[in-house]
């Protein structure tokens, strides 16, 4: 089983093995995370400024998110350019998925991006959403948008066609921020969005809800409404990332870091009875060929290997 996500220091260079068996007609996953170098060995006894500078470089997949949360939890002032870099980092990850990785999964052509798209929110919105430059707010208009095939609509259509309503859902978990296990994802961040509420009502918190939430999050990056990193109390802070909410806790004495722990969206998704485990259990065994796609939609921040359990 995965390590304690709330208290244990997190290792570097992690990889995830998902071993999937079957019991009582349900898929039963077991998660095993490699355990290499521990964060505590890198930061204990080091000055806060040094930790804030070096740790995001080590865990550089969500560097801006980690830097923003780290600076707040260590009592350092926010970087004036930090929020701009954070929005760009999250948007870049979403664009990669909707324009290249997910189309490739379904054999679709990649979405074309204009030159200089990263500095042109309007052009990026047109690429992702089509001429309307935003997602519809209701299921009826959403269905029309899907039928028109605008922007990333073909990818969402392929996801909707791959999973029936109720398949691979994880409906019972509280939304982040909450104690693990919780639903910690971009869709959780935008759960009040009218379209996501309607998708949840019809399909549950399943693959379509999850993917559409990521697209809503891309729109929030473009219009500047992504939340900023926030201090949660002494020695604790969180920041949005491309996969959900990233949280850091630290103990500091005389300007020196004495302890530090991270809680990432991946920690929450692979927690015992977490969102990924419950979603896999809600996928019919006859549909287990969809497991790689389902895991890709969750997007753990590490390499993943899926294995069948020994009979």
Query: Three-state DSSP class for 23?
Result: strand
Q: What is the pLDDT of residues 268-285, one digit of tens each?
A: 999 989 999 999 999 999
Tell me the H-state helices in the chain.
Answer: 39-43, 48-58, 63-73, 82-96, 102-105, 121-129, 139-148, 153-162, 186-189, 194-203, 207-223, 265-269, 275-281, 291-298
Q: What is the pLDDT of residues 54-102, one digit of tens each?
A: 888 887 789 999 999 999 999 999 999 999 999 999 999 999 999 999 9
Domain with 169, as residue range(s), is 38-269
- Six token digits for residue 38: 């521990």
- Using alpha carbons only, what angle is made at residue 152 by residues 146 and 156, rounded to the nearest 5 degrees? 55
Residue 243 lies in a domain: yes
Residue 301 lies in a domain: no
Show pLDDT as tens, one digit a residue, over the chain (311 residues). Answer: 333 333 333 444 578 999 999 999 999 999 999 865 577 788 889 999 999 988 888 877 899 999 999 999 999 999 999 999 999 999 999 999 999 999 999 999 999 998 899 999 999 999 999 999 999 999 999 999 999 999 999 999 999 999 998 999 999 999 999 888 999 999 999 999 999 999 999 999 999 999 999 999 999 999 999 999 999 999 999 999 999 999 999 999 999 999 999 899 999 999 989 999 999 999 999 999 999 999 999 999 989 999 998 75
Residue 5 lies in a domain: no
Give the C-alpha separation, 288 to 206, whole Å: 15
Residue 287 lies in a domain: no
* Strand 26-33 to 15-23 pairing: antiparallel
Residue 71 lies in a domain: yes
- Using alpha carbons only, what angle is made at residue 209 by residues 205 and 215, rounded to the nearest 5 degrees? 150
* Strand 230-233 to 236-241 pairing: antiparallel
Residue 156 lies in a domain: yes
Q: How many domains does the chain have?
A: 1
Residue 6 lies in a domain: no
Give the C-alpha separation, 250 to 257, whole Å: 7
Residue 282 lies in a domain: no
């Amino acid at each position: 089983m995965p390590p304690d996500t709330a208290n244990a220091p997190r290792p570097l260079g992690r990889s995830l093995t998902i071993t999937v068996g079957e019991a009582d007609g349900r898929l039963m996953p077991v998660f095993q995370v490699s355990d290499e170098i521990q964060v505590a060995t890198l930061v204990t006894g080091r000055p806060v400024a040094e930790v804030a500078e070096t740790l995001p470089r080590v865990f550089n997949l969500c560097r801006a998110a980690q830097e923003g949360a780290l600076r707040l939890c260590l009592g350092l002032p926010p970087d004036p350019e930090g929020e701009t870099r954070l929005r760009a980092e999250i948007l870049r990850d979403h664009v990669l998925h909707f324009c290249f990785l997910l189309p490739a999964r379904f054999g679709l052509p990649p979405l074309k991006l204009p030159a200089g798209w990263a500095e042109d929110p309007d052009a990026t919105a047109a690429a992702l959403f089509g001429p309307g430059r935003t997602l519809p707010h209701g299921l009826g208009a959403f269905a029309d948008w899907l039928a028109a095939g605008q922007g990333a609509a073909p990818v969402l259509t392929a996801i909707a066609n791959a999973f029936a309503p109720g398949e691979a859902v994880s409906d019972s978990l509280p939304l982040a921020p909450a104690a693990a296990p919780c639903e910690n994802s971009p869709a959780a961040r935008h759960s009040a969005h009218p379209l996501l509420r309607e998708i949840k009502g019809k399909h549950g918190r399943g693959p379509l809800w999850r993917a559409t939430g990521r697209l809503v999050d891309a729109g929030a990056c473009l219009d500047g409404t992504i939340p900023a990193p926030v201090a949660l109390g002494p020695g604790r802070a969180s920041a949005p990332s491309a996969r959900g909410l990233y949280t850091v806790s630290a103990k500091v004495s005389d300007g020196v870091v004495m302890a530090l722990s991270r809680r990432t969206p991946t920690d929450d998704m692979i927690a015992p009875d977490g969102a990924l485990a419950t979603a896999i259990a809600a996928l019919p065994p006859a549909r287990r060929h969809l497991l790689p796609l389902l895991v890709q939609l969750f997007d753990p921040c590490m390499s993943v290997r899926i294995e069948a359990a020994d009979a």
